[in-house]
Structure 1
Amino acid sequence: MFKKHNIALVLGVYTALISTTFASEQSESKGFVEDASGTVLFRNGFIQRDKKNVAPGNDNNSWVQSTMVNLESGFTQGTIGLGIDVIGDFSFKIGDNQHSGNNMIPRKDDNSPYDQWTRGVGSIKARISNTTVRYGTQVLDLPVLASMTTRNVPEYFTGALVTSNEINNLALVAGKFTKNQLPDQIASDQRHLDRAVVWGAKYKINDQLNASYYGVDVKDKLERHYVNVNYQYALTDDSTLTYDLSGYHTKFEANAETYSATGITAADYSDTGIAGQKKNNNIWALSGTYKTGPHSIMLAYQQNSGNVGYDYGQNADGGQSIYLPNSYLSDFIGNDEKSVQAQYSLNFGAFNLPALNWTTAYVYGWDINLKNSNDTAKESEFFNQLSYTVQSGFAKDLKLRVRNSIYRNDQAYADQYMPDTNEWRIFVDFPVKLF
């Protein structure tokens, strides 16, 4: 009786949701073939990490050429629409890449890099009204479960995801994933993910104010919650002031990987990264951005608390699950760390150079609690990025991104996190539309 009551309640709520919507995506479907699309992205990527104050040979240099295919069918017509998506990538290394790393190139059992590798996956999908269900391998873009897309090829998750837009201005998501594959992994489940359940909602309150909440439960690893409030205020015709408040609360299980844990830990913690004790982290950030014409200036403050830093990506929880402002080469997420940032961006379109953009930023962090020490540490990063998209001709839509970070920290933190590093990232993307 209890189960029947709950089923009836769910159906009643779903019916109410559908009745409140003002349009139906499925009713506008043109067909399986008619709405289909296909693209190929050719990407050449180079990442160099010049590590200071370490033994020779510890630098990382990776150079890769990749071809990524994305084929998406439309939905069949009718009350319930069905479809199929296919994604895949083929890559090969350029040069020997013996000192590669950086999540760019997979390695063999003898630690030598692969010369070439291929990954291919697909998913099925169904849609009713404004609700879509996808099952298969996907690239996720959720604050608590986000695929790493800052390398040559993306990180994949395999499972089911439901997205619903039945109520105007309200987007709901829920899903369950059982496989996780980083960009430099060939096998589809090298992360040994048991189960990650994700849920969330984003609501557009009005044209100026948005709010969102997301959560994830990675079995035997962690439970994480994220909240965000974004408010944009128009000052003049071409000027805006945007305030953004975001934060995470994470509860790590005893066998989760928590490389920055302090307090009581297992005897073999320094070797395994597993604290053997439950740990907690809270991290929040507040930023303000003033934009006028081609200029944009952002100031941000970010702070951690708890007995561990915001350790993400090690527990099949997404290598890009950090929707916070102070995230570049370093994420400024150390145990109890506070950090401030000043950022400036310029769109050169105002100077007759359309599609050329420059961003520079400086971030400073302090009060980092260290493992097995009563001392605190500090870190800093100077960041610059130029991007340009070709506007016409044969190479139209080709995009060049050049990024540089100069990272410095205290030696005590370098031993636990990463050494002083000068990093270059150069990516050239050339998308080709198939149909």
Structure 2
Amino acid sequence: MRKSSLALAIAASTLSLSFSHVAHAGFIDDSKASVEARNFYFNRDFRDGGTATSQAKSEEWAQGFLLRLESGFTDGTIGFGIDALATAGFKLDSGGGTAGSGLLVPDGSSGGSQDNYGGLGLTAKAKVSESVLKVGTLQLKNQAVGSSDSRLLPQVFRGGQIVSKEIAGLTLDGGYLEQVNNRNSSDYQDMRLNTFANSGITVSGANRANQFIFAGGNYKLTDSLTGGYYYSNLEDLYKQHSFNLVHVLPIADNQSLKSDLRYARSTDDGSSNVDNKAFGAMFTYALSGHSLGLGYQKMSGDTGFAYIGDSVDPFLVNYVQIGNFAAKDESSWQARYDFNFASIGVPGLTFMTRYLNGDNIDRGAAADGKEWERDMDIAYVVQDGTFKNLGVKWRNATMRNNFSRDIDENRLIVSYTLPLL
């Protein structure tokens, strides 16, 4: 595990200033703390039954705990604060023939998973007016990079980020990342370019980087229209320009039409062959508790979509539970339906189902690739009483294609969040 002396020095300096001001009311009064217990069962069944060199299924069960601490800011022109994220994951059931779900840290010696893992992340922060600088452990969610939180413990990065909201309607966002701690890891490591199946992406030399920069933001052009742009660069591997337009058209009481348009241009940065144009559009009609969405996504260029590897969530309309539908030359469409049962008097209960179909995947000399996926989520969160914040979610997915293994998948997540402050 490699650590950056510069990042640690900045964090230590800011922490020192924070603690020297701890008596200030804002630091304490605006603080928040919570602990989340997350019980996660994962089953991925490969429908070909497995072979002598491939497992028939991936099945694991684990218990995770996440302690989140978020201070307020000290008084003064420059306010200082500190955040902390402590995580711990414990194996409940796994084996050498069923590991690899992403819930637990792989154990290379046994072919199974380690019994436990976790970590402690600290983030120093400073605030001037409506601008906030954070240095240390970061969870990010923007057009350039999205930390995944779809397993037992979340993916985090080490680096710095500044977010400014000095101008009404305008949010500016920039950052520098140097390492990643993936969702099934207890160590930080260099980042890498995702070279997923049928992406057509190749890398000359080592596929790793210890510098990812991004800068961009969003501007509310009107009450109903927001535009966004981000530039990002994974050192020596790829550069990307990402554009986004979101428009919400009110139609009548409890009715609206949301349009979400996305375009990204990705090119190489010296050590890869990345060349991709990604267009996506999602249109969602909402009526009371119902939502019906139709989406389209198209890849063009010499490769598929470029994004940081392992478990980062790419900014794509057709990135879903199993697939990203972002292979070389792939065209895909999506139909989605959501229902919020609060509209009929059952708050906390939600349902979602969607179907995606992709084709025209460039597989070189082989026949064009095609794939489809069907997802279903049903979730309930207790709204009040003794078990308030207790959540239960079942996620089911089916994936079929003509170039890889067919998959049936189920995830059952039971979580409970207890506010401490």
CA RMSD between the two structures:
1.7
- 1:351 aligns with 344
Q: Is the 8 A contact 1:119 1:186 kept in 2?
A: yes
- 2:395 aligns with 403
- Residue 153 and residue 214 in structure 1: after superposition, are their counterparts in 2 closer, same or farther (change >3 A)? same
TM-score, normalising length: structure 2:
0.86
Superposed counterparts of 1:187-206, under 5 Å: 187-189=187-189, 191=191, 193-206=209-222
Deviations 1:296-321 (A, max 9, x none): 1011111000111114332x7x6112
- Equivalent pairs counted in the alignment come to 377
- 1:433 aligns with 419
The answer as to 2:208 corresponding to 1:216 is no
Distance 1:387 1:96 in 2: 25
The answer as to 2:74 corresponding to 1:76 is yes
Q: Is the 8 A contact 1:301 1:340 kept in 2?
A: yes
Distance 2:390 2:270 in 1: 47
Unpaired runs of 5+ residues, structure 2, are: 1-23, 192-207
Equivalent position amino acid for 2:228 in 1: S
Distance 1:39 1:373 in 2: 54
What's the offset of the Cα at 1:62?
2.1
- 2:186 aligns with 186
Superposed counterparts of 1:18-97, under 5 Å: 30-56=25-51, 57-97=55-95
Q: Is the 8 A contact 1:364 1:381 kept in 2?
A: yes
Which of the residues 402, 414, 421 maps onto 2:407? 421
- Residue 338 and residue 229 in structure 1: after superposition, are their counterparts in 2 closer, same or farther (change >3 A)? same
Equivalent position amino acid for 1:398 in 2: L
Q: Is the 8 A contact 1:142 1:321 kept in 2?
A: no
Superposed counterparts of 1:34-433, under 5 Å: 34-56=29-51, 57-98=55-96, 99-110=98-109, 111-189=111-189, 191=191, 193-253=209-269, 255-256=271-272, 278-314=273-309, 319-370=312-363, 372-410=364-402, 413-414=403-404, 419-433=405-419
What's the offset of the Cα at 1:254?
5.4
Q: Is the 8 A contact 2:39 2:63 kept in 1?
A: yes
- 2:8 aligns with none
Q: Is the 8 A contact 2:190 2:210 kept in 1?
A: no
Q: Is the 8 A contact 1:47 1:62 kept in 2?
A: yes
Deviations 1:34-90 (A, max 9, x none): 111111111011221101225253411121100001111111000000111111101
What's the offset of the Cα at 1:279?
2.5
- Residue 97 and residue 312 in structure 1: after superposition, are their counterparts in 2 closer, same or farther (change >3 A)? farther
Deviations 1:331-361 (A, max 9, x none): 1111101011111111112333221111111
TM-score, normalising length: structure 1:
0.83
Equivalent position amino acid for 2:32 in 1: S
Q: Is the 8 A contact 2:47 2:56 kept in 1?
A: no
